[in-house]
Amino acid sequence: MSREKAEVMDGKAMSRATARIAYEIIERGHGAENVCIVGIRRRGAVIAKQIADKIKEVEHREVPFGCIDITPYRDDLKLKNIEKGAPVALDFGVAGRTVVLVDDVLYTGRTVRAAIEAIMEQGRPKSLQLAVLIDRGHRELPISPDYVGKNVPTSRSETVEVHVDEFDGENRVVILESEGDC
């Protein structure tokens, strides 16, 4: 069992963070030409769509957006003979583009590693960047985000949950702790 320890972002703070990430992507790329946004299912895809929509609003141009399911690429499922195939829902090529990969929470880096593998199977991007709403630390792989909504130091016994309207009926980020922890 877990209990809510703290709310670290409300809906307005989440909106400001995704808008800031969108502006940073535009600034770093001197516009949004040749940029595409790819979200990691589920909540990463919702956040990615918000970023893509903000870029469109600011730049007055459609930014290719898609999402990927990294399940077949997870290193903890390799032994279960899960076949790769159809996890990527992109109606655009990634070859030669700047791909901004988006996830909700960056923790160990293993989800991002799997997403990179899925993207690379689609072609060779010009560059691959990482945007996350929350960076909670505790990396097990040498992965670092290019764009961060908020850094939230946590203990390993805590969990960060991102709630989005589309799945949870609300927008907020909370830290949960196990009830058995002191």
Secondary structure of 90-117 in HEC code, one letter for each residue: CCCCCCCCEEEEEEEEECCCHHHHHHHH
Is 117 inside a domain boundary? yes
Res. 1: pLDDT tops 90: no
CA distance 156 to 174: 15
Res. 83: pLDDT tops 60: no
Q: What is the mean pLDDT of residues 12-18?
A: 98
| Higher pLDDT pick, 89 / 61 | 61
> How far are the Cα atoms of 107, 164, 182 from residue 155, in angstroms, in the given order?
11, 23, 12
Is 82 inside a domain boundary? no
Tokens of 93: 């090529």
Res. 181: pLDDT tops 70: no
Domain that holds residue 24: 2-77+87-178
The chain-wide mean pLDDT, for the chain, equals 93
Residues found in the chain: 182
Res. 58: pLDDT tops 60: yes
pLDDT the model gives residue 42: 93
CA distance 72 to 85: 8
Is 152 inside a domain boundary? yes
Tokens of 52: 């893509």
Number of domains in the chain: 1
Placement of tokens 């390799």 in the chain: 78
Is 160 inside a domain boundary? yes
Res. 87: pLDDT tops 90: no
pLDDT the model gives residue 178: 86
Model confidence, pTM: 0.92
Query: The domain that contains 166 carries what CATH number?
Result: 3.40.50.2020
